[in-house]
Structure 1
Amino acid sequence: MALQYEIIGTTLPVAVIKLAPGDRIYSSSGGMSWMSQTVEMETNTGGGLGKMFKRALTGESLFIVDYYVNQGEGEIAFAAEFPGKILALSLADGQQMIVQKDSFMCAEKSVDLDMHFRKRLGAGLFGGEGFILQKLTGPGLAFVNFDGEILEKTLAPGELLRVDTGHVAMMEPTVDFDVQMVRGFKNILLGGEGLFLATLRGPGKVWLQTMPMSKLANRIAQFMPQVGGRGESGGTNISLGQLFGGE
């Protein structure tokens, strides 16, 4: 029987998953939001030291946590950590998806989570999301969380799509990913798009995210007030917690 789930919410969604005896899902440690009392948890290395090291490189925790029920049914939820969308990926046996790092939420135990290196050094140095991505391999159901809204595009063989770095959320492994320098001196100097653009070449599907968190953070930082204080810079930033009454 297929795993039963529901994705609830819009801006800050949550994936609520129903567990029956025999179902087993896992996530990074600290990823769970709430669960019913019938759900058991088991923390483990998820495949030994090698797997732990790979997860650390992709921004995940060293350990993973398995969730299951022994009797009856249970419910467990994984909430988004930032405004965006949760996608449920139903992967066939051997089917793979390449996703941006830190996007993994949870998956059935049959789904393998591994790191994925970009083939070209330029893509890693200037791609906006680092050199390492995550690779999910089926069979099974996996949940991923991306920034903002999600747009899906299907690229024909040889079709090229240029994307501002950071907007690439997920792709099929058949899509070739690279980063190229923007052409033209005026475009580089005055275009406002930076020196590099990501290039995606088909065939295959790609998923683009509309609001990379790096851009959102930079935008918010522009509106953060500063007050005189200690430090070499002559001022200190006021945190969001201070603005809203926190310490």
Structure 2
Amino acid sequence: MNQQLPRLLPTSLTDETFGGVTYHIGGELVPVLSVDVSRCPVYFEHHILLWKHSNVRIGIRPVKGAVKRMLAGMQVFITEASGDGIIAFSRDGAGHIVPIHLGAGQELHVREHQFLAATSNIEYTFERVRGITNMLFGQTGFFIDRFRGHDGDGVLWLHGYGNVFEKVLAAGETIDIEPGGWLYKDPQVQMDTVVDRLSSGLFGAGFNFIVNRFTGPGRVGIQSMYVNNATDER
């Protein structure tokens, strides 16, 4: 059995170059991502802009399946930055910014609301998953964002709450994660919901103990803190 613990991913990077951009990640409690978009545009959630050089232009990039996303209360449009300069992003919450390098044809599945930014050559779609969180939050399901390298190498940046750890699962290896604790997974990693009924033996009282079970091979990202965006007052 593989007893290796999930590893803490780097919390800061300087002058990292990949997929046509050079980027930096710095800060402690609320990290900042700075990206030079002079050679490759970057799209991002509109509310995370912190600062930019004046030469950097902002435009609109539509998302496929806009009607379905609108009916589910998800964002319909995302913004895109291009031009000669640097743009910086941060999210209003203590956390950890994680860069994922994707080659052409590579894909990653990400928990909804935790996408930060991506280079323009990465495709962005989504799928609805039912029966995973409805037992916890009274929902009928949630979305998984799907990012895929399309035209050469690209970078996807995610925001995890708390710190982000990564577990690489061997074929057939499993790990159980609290339903709010996972951040991303490789497409070939299978995700199931496991419910154990725990009983106190007193007047038949008990409660459900729920985890998401991930089966390898592939990577799973784990965040040490979870913010439920569906019920969060912010």
**TM-score normalized by structure 2?**
0.78
What is the aligned partner in structure 1 of residue 161 from structure 2?
147
Equivalent runs, 1:137-216 vs 2, <5 Å: 137-138=148-149, 139-186=153-200, 194-214=208-228
Question: The residue matched to 1:213 in structure 2 has which SS?
Answer: coil
What letter corresponds to residue 88 of structure 1 in structure 2? P
Structure-2 residue corresponding to 1:92: 103
**Aligned AA (1:123):** I
C-alpha distance in structure 2 between counterparts of 1:170 and 1:57, whole Å:
24
Shift of 1:156: 1.5
Residue pair 1:12, 1:80 contacting (<8 A) in 2 also? yes
In the alignment, which residue of structure 2 is the partner of 1:8?
26
1:158 aligned counterpart, secondary structure: coil
CA contact (8 A) 2:20 2:40 kept: no
What SS class does the counterpart of residue 57 from structure 2 fall into? strand
Partner of 2:115: 104
Larger radius of gyration: 1
Residue from 116, 125, 131 that aligns with 1:122: 131
| Greater length-normalized contact order (CA 8 Å, ≥ 6 residues apart) | 2
Unpaired stretches in structure 2, ≥5 consecutive residues: 1-18
Equivalent residue runs for 1:49-68 within 5 Å: 50-56=64-70, 60-68=74-82
SS at structure 1 position matched to 2:104: coil
Q: How much does 1:184 deviate?
A: 4.1
Paired residues, what number? 208
Any conservation in 2 of the 1:7–1:15 contact (CA below 8 Å)?
Answer: yes
Amino acid in the other structure paired with 2:101: S
**1:4 Cα deviation (Å)?**
0.3
1:224-244 residue CA offsets vs partner (Å, 9 max, x unmatched) = xxxxxxxxxxxxxxx99xxxx
**Backbone CA RMSD of aligned residues:** 2.9
Q: TM-score by structure 1 length?
A: 0.74
Structure 2 Cα separation of the partners of residues 156 and 3 of structure 1: 32
Q: Which has the higher helix share?
A: 1
Does the C-alpha gap of structure 1 residues 55 and 109 become closer, same or farther in structure 2, counting only changes over 3 Å? farther
Where structure 1 has 5 or more consecutive residues not aligned to the other structure, the ranges are: 219-238, 241-247
Matched, 1:24 2:35: no
Counterpart secondary structure, 1:126: helix
**Aligned counterpart, 2:90:** 79
Q: 2:13 maps to what in 1? A: none
User: Compared with structure 1, are the counterparts of its residues 58 and 149 closer, same or farther at alpha carbon in structure 2 (3 Å cutoff)?
Assistant: farther
Query: How far apart are the structure 1 equivalents of 2:189 and 2:88?
Result: 32
In structure 2, distance between residues paired with 1:155 and 1:58: 32
| Contact 1:33–1:78 under 8 Å retained in 2 | yes
Q: Distance in 1 between matches of 2:169 and 2:136?
A: 20
Deviation at 1:82, TM superposition (A): 1.0
Partner of 2:50: 33
Would the aligned equivalents of 1:181 and 1:195 in 2 still touch at CA under 8 Å?
Answer: yes
Among residues 128, 131, 136, which one is paired with 2:142 in the alignment?
131
Q: Distance in 2 between matches of 1:13 and 1:167?
A: 20
Deviation at 1:30, TM superposition (A): 2.8
CA deviation digits over 1:2-60, x for unaligned, max 9? 3000001121001001121x4211113333221111101112424xxx43235546764
